[in-house]
Structure 1
Amino acid sequence: MEKVIITLRAAAGDDAWCTRLRSEVADDLLALGAPGLAVNVRDAVVGDSLMTLTTLDPPVVGFVSIWTQQSYGPHVRGALDRLTGECERVDAYLVTESVPLPPPPSAAGARTPGFANVALLRRPADLDVETWRARWHVDHTPVAIATQSTFGYTQNAVVRALTSGAAVIDAIVEELFPLEATKDLHAFFGAADDADLEDRMNRMVASTAAFGANRCVDTVPTSRYVMRSPFAAELTT
């Protein structure tokens, strides 16, 4: 099975658009029959998050993740056709998915607790692929989990873009945080006090800097909805 992440970009995505994407549009995408579908939207619940960084113009305001047998098959082609016109730009990326910290179970179509902070990473030109991936996967992963209040952590390494002219992205990372972490650094890092916060932030900054995730990065706070899981055991009924 393959995983494809589709980025939805627009100057702004209001709550009416977000609701439409996770309801009417999501229903149409489900009807295409892909084994797995998730929708992330930057709605009012997370719109004023402190953890927002943007390099893309227009910025990303939503994501659609599809698990399918063929990244070049009807599930993805149908989704791209359906999503075209729903925003200013739609791009798709084939990814390999690693899940160091699995998200908690949730009911199909329900909002995942907390919020999903989605980061778009680029590999610095001065780092070869092997070094970059080792520093990200092997060195950084335990630091990220230890220094933040993350309760779900998914790493998607981009294999290639599936749409012409897509923005260059080398990785798409999704981390789940408590909702209060949108406005409180102590909550974001799970820090007990100011000294603990400073220590955790310093460790995190040093770790991200080692593989270039401290620059040329977009972070998009989102509400996450798993509409259909390819891993049935992850969902409650």
Structure 2
Amino acid sequence: MEKVILVSQCAAADDAWCARLRGPVAAELLDLGLPGLTINVKDAAVRDSLMTLTTLNPPVAAVLSLWTDQHYGAQVAAAVELLAGESDAVAGYLVTESVPLRAPEVELGSRTPGLANVALLRRPPELDEPTWRTRWHRDHTPVAIETQATFGYTQNAVVRALTPDAPAVAAIVEELFPADAVTDLKAFFGAADDADLAARIDRMVASTARFGANRNVDTVPTSRYVLRSAVRATG
């Protein structure tokens, strides 16, 4: 089984658009027979997050994770076409998934509690791929878990783009935070006080700078909906 991520850019995305995406559009996607489907939408519950960073124009409004037997097959092609009808632009990526911290299971179709922060990372040109991956996976992963209040952490390394003109992205990361993290930096970092917050931020920034994740990055606050779980189906 393979994982494909579709990134939807939409300038006019509002709550009605988000509801349509996780409602009727999700139903059509499920009808394709995808073994797994998760939809992340930038809706009112998270839209004002303090940790939002945007480089793409139009901005990212939704991120869809699909599991399929063939990334080059009819299911993914139909999903791209369907999402393109709802978006200004759609980019598809074949990814490999690592899960340093698995999120708790929730009822299928229900909103995962809290903030799902999705980051689109680019590899800086001065770093070769092995060095970049080592600094990200081996060095940064424990720092991210230790300095933030995450209760779910998924790393998707991009194998290649699947759609024409897809923005160059090296990885797509999803981290889950408590709901208070939307507006409270202490809640985001799990800090006890201002001094603890400053120390955590300093450590985090130093770590992200080593592999270029402190610049040229999109961070998209989302609400996460697991519609069909490939993990539950297989295990």
TM-score (norm 1): 0.97
Q: Does 1:28 align with 2:28?
A: yes
How far residue 123 of structure 1 moved from its aligned partner, in angstroms, is: 0.2
Could you tell me how far apart the structure 2 residues matched to 1:204 and 1:167 are?
26
The aligned residue for residue 128 of structure 1 is 128
Q: Does 1:18 align with 2:11?
A: no
After superposition, residues 33-112 of structure 1 pair within 5 angstroms as 33-112=33-112
The aligned residue for residue 183 of structure 1 is 183
Query: Deviations along 1:170-215, whole A, 9 cap, x unmatched?
Result: 0000000011101111000000001100110000000000000000
SS at match of 1:123: coil
Amino acid at match of 1:56: L
Could you tell me how far apart the structure 2 residues matched to 1:79 and 1:64 are?
10
Could you tell me how far apart the structure 2 residues matched to 1:23 and 1:68 are?
20
The aligned residue for residue 4 of structure 2 is 4
Amino acid at match of 1:194: D
SS at match of 1:63: strand
> RMSD over aligned Cα, in angstroms?
1.2
SS at match of 1:81: helix
How far residue 234 of structure 1 moved from its aligned partner, in angstroms, is: 9.6
The aligned residue for residue 192 of structure 2 is 192
Which has the larger displacement, 7-16 or 136-145? 7-16
Could you tell me how far apart the structure 2 residues matched to 1:74 and 1:152 are?
31
The aligned residue for residue 148 of structure 1 is 148
Which has the larger displacement, 81-90 or 162-171? 81-90
How far residue 12 of structure 1 moved from its aligned partner, in angstroms, is: 3.1
How far residue 167 of structure 1 moved from its aligned partner, in angstroms, is: 0.5
SS at match of 1:39: strand
- Number of residue-to-residue matches in the alignment: 235
TM-score (norm 2): 0.98
* Unpaired segments ≥5 residues, structure 2: none
Could you tell me how far apart the structure 2 residues matched to 1:88 and 1:116 are?
23
Aligned 8 A contact 1:5 1:95 in 2: yes
Could you tell me how far apart the structure 2 residues matched to 1:163 and 1:233 are?
28
Report percent identity of matched pairs: 67
Return structure 1 stretches of 4+ with deviation > 6 angstroms. Answer: none
Amino acid at match of 1:9: Q
The aligned residue for residue 203 of structure 1 is 203
The aligned residue for residue 229 of structure 1 is 229
Could you tell me how far apart the structure 2 residues matched to 1:142 and 1:126 are?
24
Could you tell me how far apart the structure 2 residues matched to 1:234 and 1:187 are?
34
How far residue 233 of structure 1 moved from its aligned partner, in angstroms, is: 6.8
SS at match of 1:54: coil
